[in-house]
Amino acid sequence: MKGFETPTFECETGNYHTFCPISCVAWLYQKIEDSFFLVVGTKTCGYFLQNALGVMIFAEPRYAMAELEEGDISAQLNDYGELKRLCLQIMTNRDPGVIVWIGTCTTEVIKMDLEGMAPELESEIGVPIVVARANGLDYAFTQGEDTVLAAMAHRCVERDLGSADERQPVRSPLSKTEYSKPATVLPAGEGTNPPLVLFGSLPSMVASQLNLELKRQSVRVWGWLPARSYTALPSLGAGVYVCGVNPFLSRTATALMRRRKCRLIGAPFPIGPDGTRAWIEKICSVFGIRTKGLRERERHVWEGLKDYLDLVRGKSVFFMGDNLLEVSLARFLIRCGMIVYEIGIPYMDKRYQAAELALLRDTCRDMCVLVPRIVEKPDNYDQIQRMRELRPDLAITGMANANPLEARGIDTKWSVELTFAQIHGFTNARGVLRLVTRSLRRNDLVGDLGWAANPAEAEGDNDPLTQR
């Protein structure tokens, strides 16, 4: 039963629509400027990337498919030799600072030992090779970034605790070829906190906005995972504090804690002004810093959102779930006065998201609404049946369902846009609401001209007579 106390979790069949996790190359190759992403997969993977990335594909992107052919599948060709040939080709044409191999479903099924081959090839051709298994057998959409960052975490140099100057790293035993120097975001001398590394790929403008928010509280950010370039990855080690900026980074968090002995700051995610304040407060409390002026700043941001808040207040939302940002977004929208019927989510890491879930619970209590049900691995078909009864004002959903839902009179927002848009920090709260309210604003502008979907049509879905 739903209640104020704890969110209830349900798990369905996992028959839902989402993007393949290899889509992470789209934003990661732009973020890590000296990288080249090689997706080792089939035509199916290539077709997805080519269509999902749209016009980016024409801009000579720094990624490519290593397309497996029948000879590769039946092991008539030597994997190592083939990959070496392609990587040398990439080196000649693009000269990247790092090559990231993205393992796919096919490499899993034929058990291609990418992790085993990478170190050998790396020393042979002299370019670091990072292996991330971002496949659809195990992961959904944004979790692709998680696998890449978890792999990158192993390649950050080891922080030398004995060194007087903390910024001076020593070579990591893991890396043979790289010559990493830690990126110092702020000049030395500001902030006295222990080294803090934030993880999660954000557009550089958003990253510097978050740096600035923390600087206002005298917290110094030591580095980001990922940095702008592979060679500028931060150094890690015991005594380094890490904090995530996105809800889908649980593997990275685990890798940082277990393998690199970092200390994780479990905080809600800086999405929405409420989330941003909670995120900063948590970081400050770990470092024993008293925040100053934070509540005023948050209040100020909320005041600036007033026009949008009037629009969304009392409206209902249904998250079908496909990118793992759902809990944070739902929490923000509840704080905005919306009613959330259901939070669909591909995968729920209750430990990594613990602080976010607690904030969701508190938010629901403050706003006097029931904690929405959280549906893991949702079933799209069942969700659509539920939506027919609930008739939410807005469905946040993938593109496969958006047009059919609109045709049935349910306003939608593509969840993919929320993945690519800038949604973090105080500054971008308005951006989130701009996206969420778009269909509501369209309805106000277009008005009811009488051709919104006919409910009878929506019911007669299976009746061939109503089609065509």
Partner 1 sequence: MKLAYWMYAGPAHIGTLRVASSFKNVHAIMHAPLGDDYFNVMRSMLERDRDFTPVTASTVDRHVLARGSQEKVVENITRKGKEERPDLIVLTPTCTSSILQEDLQNFVRGASITSDSDVILADVNHYRVDELQAADGTLEQVVRYYLNKARGQGTLGRSLANIPSANIIGTSTLGFHNQHDCRELERLLRDIGIRIHQIIPEGGFVGNLHNLPKAWFNLVPYREVGLMTAVYLDEEFGMPCVSTTPAGIVDTAECIRQMQECVGKWAPVLLEEEVDYEPYIDRQTRFVSQAAWFSRSIDCQNLTGKRAVIFGDATHATAMTKILSREMGIRVCCAGTYCKHDAEWFNEQVRGFCDKVLVTDDHTEVGDMIGREEPSAIFGTQMERHVGKRLDIPCGVISSPVHIQNFPLGYRPFLGYEGTNQIADLVYNSYTLGMEDHLLDIFGGHDTERAATEPSPVEQDPLIWSPESQLGLSQIPRFVRGKIQGKTEKFARQNGITNITLEVMYAAREILGT
Rule CB under 8 A: is residue 344 a binding residue for partner 1? no
**CB distance 214 to 266 below 8 Å:** no
Q: Please state at what angle helix 24-31 crosses helix 43-52, rounded to 10 degrees.
A: 70
Q: Which of 11, 75, 110, 370 binds partner 1 (CB under 8 A)?
A: 110
CB of 38 to partner 1, least distance (A): 8
Question: Any idea which residue has 């092991």 for tokens?
Answer: 75
* One character per residue 368-407, x = contact with partner 1 (rule: CB under 8 A): -------------x--x-------------xxxxxxx--x
110/285 Cα distance (integer angstroms): 48
Cα separations in angstroms, 282 against 256, 266, 269? 19, 8, 10
The distance of closest approach from Cβ of residue 322 to partner 1 in the complex, given in angstroms and rounded to an integer, is: 10
Compute the Cα dihedral for 152, 157, 161, 165 and give only its sign. Answer: negative
Question: Which range in 77-85, 147-155, 212-220, 418-426 contacts partner 1 by CB under 8 A?
Answer: 77-85
The distance of closest approach from Cβ of residue 320 to partner 1 in the complex, given in angstroms and rounded to an integer, is 13
Q: Is 87 annotated as a binding residue?
A: no
Q: Does 17 bind partner 1 (CB under 8 A)?
A: yes
Contact track, partner 1, 36-75, x by CB under 8 A: ----x-xxx-xxx-xxx-x--xx--x--xxxxxxx-xx--
**Residue 105 annotated as part of some ligand binding site:** yes
Q: Contact between 85 and partner 1 (CB under 8 A)? A: yes
**How many other CB atoms sit within 10 Å of the CB of residue 468?**
4
d(CA 340, CA 360): 11
Residue 238 within binding range of partner 1, rule CB under 8 A = no
Which range, of 13-21, 253-261, 278-286, 309-317, touches partner 1 by CB under 8 A? 13-21
Min dist CB 394 to partner 1, Å, is 18
Q: Output the CA–CA distances (angstroms, integers) from residue 51 to 19, 65, 321, 327, in the order listed.
A: 11, 14, 21, 28
- Footprint (CB under 8 A) of partner 1, residues 247-266: none
Q: Does 11 bind partner 1 (CB under 8 A)?
A: no
- Examine residue 136 and tell whether it contacts partner 1 (CB under 8 A): yes
Q: Please list every residue from 193 through 212 that binds partner 1, using CB under 8 A.
A: none
- In the complex, minimum distance from the CB of residue 63 to partner 1, in angstroms, rounded to a whole number: 8
Annotated ligand binding at 284? The verdict is no
Minimum CB–partner distance for residue 33 and partner 1 (Å) = 19
- Kindly state whether residue 82 participates in binding partner 1, applying the rule CB under 8 A: yes
Rounded to the nearest angstrom, the gap between the alpha carbon of residue 124 and the centroid of all alpha carbons in its chain is 34
Q: Which residues bind partner 1 (CB under 8 A)?
A: 14-15, 17-21, 40, 42-44, 46-48, 50-52, 54, 57-58, 61, 64-70, 72-73, 77, 82-83, 85-86, 89-90, 105-106, 108-110, 135-141, 381, 384, 398-404, 407, 461-462, 464, 467-468
Output the known binding site for [4Fe-4S] cluster: 20, 45, 105
Output the known binding site: 20, 45, 105
